[in-house]
Amino acid sequence: MGLGLIVFRLLYFSGPFASPDPEAVAAVVDMHCHTAGIGAGGSGCFATEELTSSYKFRYYLEGFGVKLSELEAQGDALIVRRIAEGVRTSREVDAAIVLAMDGVIDDQGQLDRAATQIYVPNRFVRQETEKHPELFYGASVNPKRTNAVELLERAHADGAKLIKWLPAVQQFDPGDRSWLPFYRKLAELDLPLLVHVGKERALAHARDEFSDPKKLALALETGVTVIAAHLGSTGSHENQRDFDRLKDMMERYPNLYGDISSLTQVNKLGYLKEALTHEGFRDRLLYGSDFPLINTPLVSPWFFPLNLEWHRMKEIGELENPWDRDFVLKRDLGVPSEVFDRPGQLLMQPEDFAFLEP
Ligand SMILES: [Zn+2]
C-alpha cells in the first residue's frame, strides 16, 4: 500500500500549479477574514443553537484559537484580539479585513432574529478592528434593511473597506431590481461588494438559488466592484459550474474580481489550479484566507502530494502561524505575487499601511 502510493506519486507528481513566484510582495492583506461570537461582553453577536451545538462550531472555535469558557469570561472581542495577534506575528501577512455578518431581514425591514443563523454586527467589528492597526473593517449590510442605503454611507464614513454579503444565508436575491439604489450608492462610494457565490456549506442551511453568479450582473452593470468569494467553487446552476459562469462573466465585466480564499480546502482541490491557469482570471484574483477555516482540518499541505515536495509539505505543516501556513502553501502552489499584492491595491489607501513603517 505504502509502496504503491510512492510509485503513484513518482509517476504523477506534477509540481506546483504555476511556477512559484519569488517576487517580493509590498504588503499582503488578507481580504477575507471572519470573526464570530456568542454575545459575550455585549458584542451583539449571536449564532443559533443549531450551529453552536454542531461539530462545526467546535472546529471554528479551535480555528479561532479560543475556548468557549474564555469567550464567556473575556467577551467576543477576544477573537478579534487573537486575529490581531496572529496577523501581527505573521511573517508573511501584514493586515486583514475582518468581516461583519448581517442577518436575515424580515418584510418590515428589520432583523429577523429567529431566522438568522449567525450575526456579527457592524458596530462590533468596527469598534474592535479600530483597536488594532493591522485590522480593517469589512461591513455587512443586508439590502432589505429599511435604512440599507444610509447604513452604506455610515459604513463608508466609518472606514469600511468593503461590504460583505452571504445571500444564500441572509436570504435575498442579489438580482432583485429593488436593490438598484443600494447598488448605485455602492458605486458612488466606490465601496466594493464581496459576495459569496457557489455552494455554501459552512453553516447549517443555505438557499443556493441566491448564490448564482449570474445574479451579480445587476450590480456589475450598475458599476459596482464585485468580488466573487471563493470564485464560486463547488456550486453549479442550470447544469453549469458557477466557476465557469464566472469565467464567462470576467470577460464581460472588468469590474468583477474573485478571491482565492478557501481554495486549498480538501473539498475544493483542483479549483486553485484552474484559477491560476485560466487566462481570464489573470489580473482579477485577490488573496484571502477565509480564516478560521484555514486553521481547521479542512486545510493541510498534505493534501498536495502531487504538487509539493515531501519536505515542503512537512515544513509548511509545521508553521505555527495560520496566516504563514496559508500564504506559504498558496505561494508554493504557484499563486503569483500580484495576487497577494492586489487586495492592498484595490481595497486600501497608502496611509492604511503607515503602521508598517519601522
Ligand atoms: Zn468566508
Q: Separation of 343 CA from ligand 1 center, angstroms?
A: 15
Residue 200's φ and ψ, nearest 5 degrees, are -110, 120
Q: What pLDDT, on the 0 to 100 scale, is given for residue 51?
A: 87
CA of 221 to the centre of ligand 1 (A): 25
More confident residue, 202 or 83: 83
Tell me the CA–centroid distance for residue 63 and ligand 1, in Å.
13
Between the CA of 33 and the centroid of ligand 1 the distance, in Å, is: 7
Distance 11 CA to ligand 1 centre (A): 36
Tracing cell 471563493 back to the chain, one arrives at: 230
* CA of 211 relative to ligand 1 center, distance in Å: 13
**Which among 312, 300, 228 has a CA at the least distance from the CA of 269?**
300
Answer yes or no: is pLDDT of 204 > 60: no
- Average pLDDT, whole number, for the chain? 93
Mean pLDDT of 313-321: 97
9 and 19 in contact (C-beta within 8 Å)? no
**How far away, in angstroms, is 4 Cα from ligand 1 center?**
37
Kindly state the average pLDDT of the residues 338-352: 95
Interval 69-128: pLDDT, tens: 999 999 999 999 999 999 999 999 999 999 999 999 999 999 999 999 999 999 999 999
Percent of the chain at pLDDT > 70 equals 97
Statement: residue 23 has pLDDT above 80: no
Q: What's the 260 CA to ligand 1 centre distance in angstroms?
A: 10
pTM: 0.94
Residue 158 has pLDDT above 60, yes or no: yes
Rounded distance from Cα 290 to ligand 1 centre (Å):
5
> What pLDDT, on a 0 to 100 scale, did the predictor assign at position 11?
80
Whole-number Å distance, alpha carbon 34 to ligand 1 midpoint, is 6
Pick from 44-58, 111-125, 202-216: least confident: 202-216
Distance 43 CA to ligand 1 centre (A): 20
Please tell me whether the peptide bond between 343 and the residue prior to it is cis, using omega within 30 degrees of 0.
no
The superfamily in CATH containing domain 26-344 is: Metal-dependent hydrolases (3.20.20.140)
Distance 319 CA to ligand 1 centre (A): 22
| CA 261 to ligand 1 center in whole angstroms | 7
Cβ neighbours around 41 below 10 Å, total: 17
- Report the pLDDT value the prediction gives residue 18, as an integer from 0 to 100: 85
**pLDDT of residue 203 exceeding 70:** no
**Burial class of 105 by CB neighbour count within 10 A (0 to 12, 13 to 18, 19+):** buried
Q: Measured in angstroms, how far is the CA atom of residue 118 from the centroid of ligand 1?
A: 13
Listed by start position, the domains of the chain span 26-344
Residue 210 near residue 161, CB atoms below 8 Å: no
